[in-house]
Structures are given as C-alpha cells and as structure tokens.
C-alpha cells in the first residue's frame, strides 16, 4: 500500500540522515589526535520494514605520527590513559600533553593526567617515559602512568575533546599487550577519502528515497481523487 510505503521510506530517510550526521562528524575530526570514529549499522528488527540505525564506537587503533616531543604520548594496544576533570575521571588515548604552572602533566584542556598514585608532577629537565608507563625526570622515578581497559567497551560514552566516560568497571591494562609510546601521537582511525565517498553514497541514497516518496505520494493522491469521484 502507498501509505505503508511512505512510512517505510520516511524511516529510511531518518536512517540516512543520522548516518550522514555521523559520517560528517567523523570527517570533521579526521585530524584530531587519537579520534575514534563512530559507525552506524543498519539492523533488521522484526515487524519493521526499514533499517534501524545502531551506533557504536570503532576502537580500532590508528596509525602513529612520530613527533620526538617528550610530552607526546600514545598507546600501542588496547586501553586508555586517565585524566582528572571537574566532572570526575575520564579516559583518553593520549596526545600532545603539556605541563601546567605547578609542573603537572595535563592534556590540552588542562586536565591532570593521572598516574597510579595520582597526578604526575614533572619538575626537572629530561623526561623519559618507558613502555610500561614508568615516568622518570632526570633519571629519577616520579610515577607510572595509569593505563586501564574498560571491562565492556560498548558502555563507553564520548565526552568531547577526545575524552570518554566509562559507565562500567575498568581494569588495569596488561603491560604485555599495551605499550606506552613517547614522542608519538596516535592519529584518527579513519580514512578521510573513504568518508567523503561515503557521504556521496549517503546523499544519493537519500535522494533516491525522496524521489520514491514523491512517487508514492502521487499514487496516493491519485487513489484519493478516484475514490472521491466514485463516492
């Protein structure tokens, strides 16, 4: 029936609209350190004749960009570093860190980066970060970066600025599987060119559904007119 077809097409349009929003946001963050792309998948639900969008975070690791800057830190393997924000602890994959006026290691927003014993204070000259997260300043051990892995990655919530909220429990990362890299920054885990191709594909699919809706609307109008004439 034309009416049911219009309803199904409207649901498809909602799906493609959401997919376009997510893809555009991914593309806008293609140059953001350690950005994790969102993915939209179409799920089939019993009793629904149109795709139902389901969104999740693609946690696959991005490539590394060598910077040789001592305070640039990334993670090679699963897991997250931990920062302290006014709203509580948040997770991050790292990036270009800095020192505040008190000598604390912070992210670009000024949130202290946490070690296993609290915020890391780096006062001195040469900063070295070992693969297990141990931090030394002028050959003196000042702490160890706290690296954690969410027990259920599907419960992570993006908070903006590369931060994540863990709504479930987190465990300490296995140091044999997750290594800290000093002087390197993880890049976004997406291909900008592929994202642009995806946007074009989505726009074409959206336009095709709009045309189909117009056709069905015309058929419905003709049926209504004919019914009116015979009544």
DSSP per-residue string spanning 147-200: EEEES-GGGEEEEETTEEEE-S-EEE--TTT-EEEETEEEPPSS-HHHHHHHHH
Q: Nearest to residue 53, comparing CAs of 65, 39, 64?
A: 39
pLDDT of residue 220: 65
Whole-number Å distance between alpha carbons of 158 and 163: 6
42 vs 34: CA distance, rounded Å: 26
Using an 8 Å Cβ cutoff, are 121 and 102 in contact?
A: yes
CA–CA gap between residue 95 and residue 183 (Å, rounded): 10
According to DSSP, residue 111 is labeled P
Inter-residue contact 75 to 181 (CB < 8 Å):
yes
Residue 224 CA to residue 3 CA, distance in Å, equals 11
Q: Which residues pair with 40 in a beta bridge?
A: 55
pLDDT at 41: 83
- Whether pTM exceeds 0.85: no
Give the Cβ contact number of residue 19 at 10 Å.
23
Nearest CA to 146 among 106, 117, 108, 167? 117
Which stretches in the chain have pLDDT values below 70? 1-6, 47-51, 217-231
**What is the number of residues in the chain?**
231
Question: Cα separation of 56 and 204, whole Å?
Answer: 24
Query: Would you state the pLDDT for residue 48?
Result: 65
Contact between 63 and 184 (Cβ < 8 Å): no
Cβ-contact 179, 126 below 8 angstroms: no
Contacts of 174 (CB under 8 A, 6+ apart): 149
pLDDT value of position 172: 96
Q: pLDDT value at position 179?
A: 97
Question: What pLDDT score does 157 carry?
Answer: 96
């Amino acid at each position: 029936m034309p009416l049911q077809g219009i309803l199904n097409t409207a649901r498809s349009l909602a799906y493609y609209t959401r997919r376009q929003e997510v893809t555009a946001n991914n593309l806008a963050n293609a140059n953001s350190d350690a950005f994790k792309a969102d993915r939209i998948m179409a799920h089939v639900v019993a009793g629904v004749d149109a795709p139902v969008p389901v969104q999740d975070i693609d946690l696959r690791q991005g490539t590394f960009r060598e910077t040789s800057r001592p305070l640039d830190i990334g993670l090679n393997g699963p897991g997250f570093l931990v920062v302290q924000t006014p709203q509580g602890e948040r997770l991050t994959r790292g990036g270009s860190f800095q020192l505040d006026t008190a000598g604390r290691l912070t992210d670009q927003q000024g949130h202290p980066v946490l070690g296993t014993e609290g915020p890391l204070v780096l006062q001195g000259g040469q900063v070295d970060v070992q693969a297990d997260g141990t931090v030394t300043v002028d050959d003196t051990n000042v702490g160890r970066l706290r690296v954690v892995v969410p027990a259920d990655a599907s419960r992570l919530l993006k908070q903006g600025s590369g931060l994540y909220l863990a709504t479930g429990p987190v465990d300490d990362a296995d140091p044999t599987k997750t290594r800290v890299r000093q002087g390197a920054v993880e890049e976004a885990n997406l291909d900008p060119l592929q994202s642009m191709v995806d946007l074009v594909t989505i726009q074409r699919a959206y336009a095709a559904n709009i045309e189909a809706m117009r056709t069905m609307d015309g058929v419905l109008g003709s049926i209504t007119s004919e019914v009116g004439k015979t009544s």
